[in-house]
Amino acid sequence: MSQAAGRQSIFITGAASGMGRETARLFHEKGWFVGAFDVNPAGLAALQAELGAVNCIIQTLDVSDKSQFDAAVATFGAATGGRMDILFNNAGIIMRGFFDEMSFEDQLKIINVNLIGVLNGTHAALPLLKDTPNALCFNTSSSSATMGMPLIAVYSASKHAVKGLTEALSNEFRRFDIRCADALPGLIRTGMTSDEFLAKAPDQGPFRLIEAVEVAKVVWASYHSEQLHWYIPEDLAGLDKAAGDNPELLRDKLGRHMEV
């Protein structure tokens, strides 16, 4: 018998902290088997100690490296008997600054993790997803995928790409009984959010500070739904409508808040 012992299973990248860690905790509470993958081995070890080694597997993973992703999926499949109910492409990085002042190498790092990492994960996991009834490919996009945002131009572009990929694959993967959906979080309390941004967070509105566990709850809800885009908080959906209705007005509003 496999380590998962017949339990439903979720594969999570960026699992050592923030939204990934909270998702691992929540699905563990729901009785699922968890595969936790990250570049942070200490964070993974702490998570495994919390969940219990019988309930999860951990492995360091640079999502931008396809060979590493293939190996991680193979390890996961061996532990679950070839099952993957959810692939959660969550790992991501962000760097702030004006486009012309950011190094090309740093811009490529953002693309390689945030977009290529999702492509690597989806390609690697697809055989397991195909073999699992009602599987879900769930990706972390961003509120910055509703409108290109200044000071995070390449990050925003990477998340637009993830959103578009999710939309396209949500149709293509119906051939395999695989659903696709994404999260578009706003300001979430994670290690990626600077203390300066936390201090400036408004008390109300779409960019109020949200706890990482709220993203985990959305991943759980998505598995039981056909909904495509999940905005966190829900009122962020208004940005998509505003961008479609009057992109110039939204562009100018965003431009008035350019601070590094």
- Taking all residues of the chain, what is their mean pLDDT, rounded to a whole number? 93
* Rounded percentage of the chain residues whose pLDDT exceeds 70: 92
Q: pTM here? A: 0.93
**pLDDT computed for residue 256 by the predictor:** 80
Arithmetic mean of pLDDT, 52-57: 98
Which of 96, 207, 94, 196 lies closest to 151, judged by CA? 96
**pLDDT computed for residue 187 by the predictor:** 87
Work out the pLDDT band at 122, boundaries 50, 70, 90. very high
**pLDDT computed for residue 30 by the predictor:** 98
Task: Considering the candidates 32, 37, 88, 155, report the single residue annotated as catalytic.
Answer: 155
Domain residue spans of the chain: 9-255
**pLDDT computed for residue 255 by the predictor:** 85
Question: Would you say residue 13 has pLDDT above 60?
Answer: yes
Question: Do residues 196 and 150 lie in contact, with contact meaning Cβ atoms separated by under 8 Å?
Answer: no
Q: Which pLDDT tens digit goes with each residue over 180-219? A: 999 999 888 876 555 555 556 566 666 778 899 999 999 9
Arithmetic mean of pLDDT, 149-176: 97
**pLDDT computed for residue 242 by the predictor:** 86
* Residue 231 among the catalytic residues: no
**pLDDT computed for residue 189 by the predictor:** 82
9-255: CATH class: alpha beta
Arithmetic mean of pLDDT, 104-112: 98
Arithmetic mean of pLDDT, 42-61: 98
**pLDDT computed for residue 201 by the predictor:** 59
